[in-house]
Amino acid sequence: MAAERGIPQSIVDEIKNRNDIVAVVEQYVRLSKRSAANLFGLCPFHSENTPSFSVAPEKQIYYCFGCHKGGDVIHFIMDIEKVGYLDALRLLADRAGVHIPEPEDAGYRKRAERETLLYKINAAAAAHFYLNLTESPKGKAASAYLARRGITGGTIRKFGLGFAADDWEDLWKRLRNKGFDAEVLSGSGLFRQGRDGPYDLFRNRIMFPIFDALGRVVAFGGRVMDDSQPKYINSPESAVYTKGRHLYALNFAKKSKEGSLIIVEGYMDAIAMHQAGVENAVAALGTALTTSQAQLARRYTENVIVGFDADASGQEAALRSLDILVSKGCHVTVLQIPDGKDPDEYIRRNGADRFHDLVKRALPLMDYKLLSVERKSTRDGDLDILDYQDVACKVLAAEPNPIIRELYAAKVADKLGVPSEAVVREIERRRKGVEQAAGQGTLRDRLAQRQTGEPQEPAKPFPEDPLFLLCLIASSPELADRMRISPEPEDFPEGVIRDMAVAVLARDERAGAGLSGLIGLAGDADWHGRRIADEAARMSFEIDAMGDLSAIEEAANSYLSRVRKDRLVARKAAIVAWIAAGGEGADKMEMKEELLDIDVQLRQFRG
């Protein structure tokens, strides 16, 4: 939440108050009035012909009934400008002329100054490497090398490629001459400390500046031009660079109109793809994606095509990365490059058009998984049927969508030469295990999904959903006062929803703006918080449509008594277990008293 990120809540509130959601949305979407309360327009987040994107001026929220995106004015800017929470706040602050105070803390200011200086040093180093490559005789061999690999002058300029001279002090002297402080330079990651002083880390290498999503140079990668080792070296971590946090070329790919990202392994792959006109390519700069990279990708798109190298280690890395991407809510397909080539090599040999065809034919996730199973179960050209059926059924049993399960069961059956019912039966038998492991009951399933952040269908309304109850209370605070059991924070699942409940029930100022305030609390850059914001926006539109709330008031009451009863029963079981395990001392008396108290309360529920 904003307050925890150094911006006082009062400023966040002021920014929201001074940015009317209708005025902000109308800068991007033409809205028209279709119902008494709400405005509608064509959704800017998915393509459609009839408007399903709605804005509720009174509540200061939006929701799309087509693609289920929703939230407050800050979420809207995050979605449409593809920026994080803080950047969205800054944009809105600028728009309304609200001044965001810099944190007073001296440590913070020092850190910020140091970061600014590091960006300047990196930019100066990148400019030096670029001039070495393009204008200096030192860079002759390097530019010949890049030309041999088919890299054009335009690409060199776009990606700021450069050359680190075969010299121990070339960059050091240059940056010292530009007036950078020796001590700051030493900590920049561009130099190493030798006996006779600092020396250049990158020597006789082609240089790839690594940009962050905003286009600032945060680090470098350097590649040799011959067979010497190591082939690549990278900048160490610094105040502006953490490994596994960035996607190379995202600063360019985020502008592409494809609505998807293609994630490949190395710089050269991403660069070759951009040059071939595949402008949504980014590189992971490693053999597997990290969770933060998956999160970063998800901030830009739901659709991710993974194009890791097709060698053995590449396949393993791709499999791990796929699961990480799916867990962050991405829809994933996998690029199949024939003959184990990487994208760079494939484009050089076959041209851009053939590569575009490969992108179009990227395999759906389940096809790819089953293909990997098949490859692993094939020995000397023969499919090991027993091994294949076992792993394939396991993979299918883990798939939550029953239609996909059935579709692919038929394919697996075909391969095995058995009737498809036999495979379906086996999958369903194994699924029982999966479902038991995941816990039973719709509520627990859904909560578990929320907590693990797995993609889900929009939730069914009340009475099974605590978030719905929370939206209800935020829409109509009198309802909470009227309820037979008055809701407490503990009645809501731990995590984001519990935090929201605390604020709503306390009529906290943070939830002061009613639903828009509540949705603001659902969180920011975090995908999981966003899902909750989307759902809360949808539910509040539903509650609106209901008009008369007395019909669901009874449902709210019985839901809450069920939750309360479950909690008492669980507590009772814990105390009984504690006593059975030999719990003694003064605590034992207290526990016994609590037990009596619980029994009294439980009797009331029965009555």
User: Which residues would be at the binding site for Zn ion (CB under 5 A)?
Assistant: 43, 45-46, 64, 66-67
**Distance in Å, CB of 71 to Zn ion, minimum:** 12
Are 446 and 456 spatial neighbours (Cβ–Cβ below 8 Å)?
Answer: yes
Whether omega for the bond prior to residue 230 falls within 30 degrees of 0, making it cis, is yes
Give the nearer residue to Zn ion in terms of CB position, either 69 or 528. 69
**Distance in Å, CB of 44 to Zn ion, minimum:** 8
CA gap 113, 105 in Å, rounded:
13
CA gap 163, 223 in Å, rounded:
9
Give the nearer residue to Zn ion in terms of CB position, either 61 or 117. 61
Give the nearer residue to Zn ion in terms of CB position, either 446 or 538. 538
**Distance in Å, CB of 259 to Zn ion, minimum:** 12
CA gap 75, 81 in Å, rounded:
10
Are 533 and 499 spatial neighbours (Cβ–Cβ below 8 Å)?
Answer: no
Give the nearer residue to Zn ion in terms of CB position, either 51 or 189. 51
Give the nearer residue to Zn ion in terms of CB position, either 22 or 67. 67
CA gap 318, 219 in Å, rounded:
25
**Distance in Å, CB of 47 to Zn ion, minimum:** 9
Give the nearer residue to Zn ion in terms of CB position, either 52 or 601. 52
**Distance in Å, CB of 89 to Zn ion, minimum:** 23
In one-letter notation, the amino acid at residue 222 is: G
Q: At what angle do helices 385-397 and 420-438 cross, to 10 degrees?
A: 50
**Distance in Å, CB of 53 to Zn ion, minimum:** 6
Give the nearer residue to Zn ion in terms of CB position, either 431 or 531. 531
Closest CA to 306 of 345, 330, 279, 335: 335
In one-letter notation, the amino acid at residue 311 is: D
Give the nearer residue to Zn ion in terms of CB position, either 51 or 461. 51
Give the nearer residue to Zn ion in terms of CB position, either 258 or 488. 258
Neighbours of 375 (CB within 10 A): 11
- The 3-class SS string of 180-195 reads CCHHHHHCCCCEEEEC
**Distance in Å, CB of 64 to Zn ion, minimum:** 3
Give the nearer residue to Zn ion in terms of CB position, either 43 or 393. 43
**Distance in Å, CB of 66 to Zn ion, minimum:** 4
Q: How is residue 435 written in tokens?
A: 């479902």
- The 3-class SS string of 489-542 reads HHHCCCCHHHHHHHHHHCCCHHHCCCHHHHHHHCCCCCHHHHHHHHHHHHHHHH
**Distance in Å, CB of 280 to Zn ion, minimum:** 20
Give the nearer residue to Zn ion in terms of CB position, either 265 or 302. 302
**Distance in Å, CB of 31 to Zn ion, minimum:** 14
Q: CB burial class (10 A; 0-12, 13-18, 19+) of residue 504?
A: buried
Q: How is residue 194 written in tokens?
A: 């030798």
Q: At what angle do helices 365-376 and 312-327 cross, to 10 degrees?
A: 150
**Distance in Å, CB of 45 to Zn ion, minimum:** 4
CA gap 464, 555 in Å, rounded:
9
What DSSP designation does 138 have? G
User: Parallel, antiparallel, or unpaired for β 303-306 and 331-334?
Assistant: parallel
CA gap 572, 593 in Å, rounded:
11
**Distance in Å, CB of 209 to Zn ion, minimum:** 36
> 241: which strand partners?
238
Closest CA to 572 of 589, 604, 597: 597
3-state secondary structure of 223: strand
Give the nearer residue to Zn ion in terms of CB position, either 28 or 45. 45
Closest CA to 249 of 221, 288, 291, 290: 221
Give me the sign of the Cα torsion angle 236, 241, 247, 248: negative
Give the nearer residue to Zn ion in terms of CB position, either 63 or 248. 63
CA gap 566, 492 in Å, rounded:
12
Which residue in this structure is represented by tokens 């909470």? 480
**Distance in Å, CB of 530 to Zn ion, minimum:** 14
